[in-house]
Structure 1
Amino acid sequence: MTPAATTRPAAGHGDALIALDAVRKSYNIGRPSEAEVLHGIDLRVGRGEFIALMGPSGSGKSTLLNILGLLERMTSGSYRLGGEEVQGLDDAALTLRRRSTLGFVFQFHHLLPAFSALENVTLPALMAEGRVSATHLAHARSLLDAVGLAQAMHKRPSELSGGMQQRVAIARALVMNPPLVLADEPTGNLDTASSSEVFALLRRIHAERGTSFVVVTHDPRLAARCDRLVELVDGRIARDEAITWGAEPAHAG
């Protein structure tokens, strides 16, 4: 089923956590001309939104997510994060903004195999401050409890199932209390049951904490459980619609 096509009005800078205007991204591929991947993206992400980002392979989803995550610089345009223009910031300032504002969940969890679940969750705090404070340690424990891993926090990744490892990765993404989590195919490496459980956990965190989520997914069933669908086609936003829960987005990539 196709959700009701409700086009969302653009939020102003003041009420948007993220505001992209005319964002373009080109790559130099060793030829005299550059290859442009994103062609003038305008996007608003409001505080507390839960957004599915979809599109076929090569549509620019990963590039857009990397720009949102301050992992790549755009070629031109404006990107305001929490009201601050980030385009002119140097690498050190971008790193600080990324640590304080953004959490990341990837398809492959990237847990350190020699570390326990608890130690993996505290890594962002260790990287940001050079040590893990008692406050951060207590927060990490509470997050592992919240994701159902209170009894497994001292186990290493090899002792956990794929779904449990992804829960550790979600707790790690939240340990610095970011207002926005970017999730790139967070259930793409899981079976159907584990995928549904992990996605339900993301939705619960969103409901309880008010954290904003932008979730890249190829699965229309998961996208239908989001509140908004942004679809990229050939580097442009082809659709930006509110989703009626339980309706499956059409033409999903």
Structure 2
Amino acid sequence: MLIELQGLRKRYNLGQSNEAEVLHGIDLRVQRGEFLALMGPSGSGKSTLLNILGLLERMTEGDYRLLGDSVRGLPDAELTLRRRGTLGFVFQFHHLLPAFTALENVTLPALMHAGRASAQADARARELLDAVGLAAALHKRPSELSGGMQQRVAIARALVMDPPLVLADEPTGNLDTASSDDVFALLRRIHAERGTAFIVVTHDPRLAARCDRLVELVDGRIARDEPVAQLSPVAPPR
């Protein structure tokens, strides 16, 4: 099992008059190699849930087991190590460093992990940039790349440490339709070729329909969790 959540709750402003609970007892299991869409209206708790899955925020109650081990109560330093070794991230905005080349941006996680970019990390980054169709753009900076190309660099960066899971938060939300389709097709190809699991937050029902499983959050609770093949055409979030 890759992920197992049991009774996960998240509250903000604990003990204050404006205390608010945004996740209300989430139970969720994700197997290795799944390709899952996470949908829901604004304010449903998607970003909070993704931040907890990414070890960027702590839960208030419940348990989160990652690769069989509970992460509840682990110190920040241990959470950082687990995040680096287990998770890749792709965001709506690529967050590339503008002064770095595409190759340097992709090797950055290895640099942060080991304190230096080894020859092995450099070779891995080159391989990934070739895999995402950017072998000719190794030494170009983000300002020299289109939006779709920048997002491909971000995808390569997310994969450079070979994580079993990539969390993608609206990865095509800042792209035009053609670039969006290209980037999503790339995610599906990586999934098929490498067995990497993906949890993709999206507002686009077209993209959700191309995933294998749909989890919909409404008001901090899971409203449905079904294989996409068993669903009628995915409706836009309510």
Question: TM-score when scaled to structure 1?
Answer: 0.92
Aligned residue for 1:204? 189
Aligned residue for 2:139? 154
For residue 248 of structure 1, report the CA deviation from its aligned partner.
2.8
| Counterpart AA for 2:46 | K
**Local SS of the residue matching 1:40:** strand
For residue 169 of structure 1, report the CA deviation from its aligned partner.
0.0
* Cα deviation digits, residues 142-185 of structure 1 (max 9, x gap): 00000000000100000000000000000000000000000000
For residue 29 of structure 1, report the CA deviation from its aligned partner.
7.5
Range that drifts further, 215-224 or 25-34? 25-34
Aligned residue for 1:184? 169
* Number of aligned residue pairs: 238
Q: C-alpha distance in 1, partners of 2:17/2:94?
A: 38
**Residue 151 (structure 2) pairs with residue 166 (structure 1):** yes
| Counterpart AA for 1:172 | R
CA pair 247-198 structure 1, distance change in 2 beyond 3 A: farther
For residue 34 of structure 1, report the CA deviation from its aligned partner.
1.4
Aligned residue for 1:66? 51
**Local SS of the residue matching 1:189:** coil
- Where structure 1 has 5 or more consecutive residues not aligned to the other structure, the ranges are 1-15
**Residue 11 (structure 2) pairs with residue 26 (structure 1):** yes
Aligned residue for 2:61? 76
Range that drifts further, 20-29 or 210-219? 20-29
Aligned residue for 1:118? 103
Aligned residue for 1:9? none
Q: C-alpha distance in 1, partners of 2:214/2:91?
A: 19
**Residue 77 (structure 2) pairs with residue 92 (structure 1):** yes
Aligned residue for 1:236? 221
Range that drifts further, 22-31 or 133-142? 22-31
CA pair 30-50 structure 1, distance change in 2 beyond 3 A: same
Q: C-alpha distance in 2, partners of 1:246/1:201?
A: 24
* Cα deviation digits, residues 63-113 of structure 1 (max 9, x gap): 000000000000010000000000121000000000000000000000000
**Local SS of the residue matching 2:3:** strand
Q: C-alpha distance in 1, partners of 2:126/2:56?
A: 28
| Counterpart AA for 2:189 | R
Aligned residue for 1:4? none
Q: C-alpha distance in 1, partners of 2:86/2:95?
A: 20
- 2:204–2:236 CA contact under 8 A, matched in 1: no
Aligned residue for 1:130? 115
For the aligned residues, what is the CA RMSD?
1.4
**Residue 25 (structure 2) pairs with residue 40 (structure 1):** yes
- Where structure 2 has 5 or more consecutive residues not aligned to the other structure, the ranges are none
CA pair 220-25 structure 1, distance change in 2 beyond 3 A: same
**Local SS of the residue matching 1:215:** strand
**Local SS of the residue matching 1:205:** helix
| Counterpart AA for 1:185 | E
Q: C-alpha distance in 1, partners of 2:212/2:42?
A: 23
- 1:224–1:245 CA contact under 8 A, matched in 2: no
| Counterpart AA for 2:234 | P
- 1:116–1:155 CA contact under 8 A, matched in 2: yes
For residue 244 of structure 1, report the CA deviation from its aligned partner.
1.7
**Local SS of the residue matching 1:244:** helix
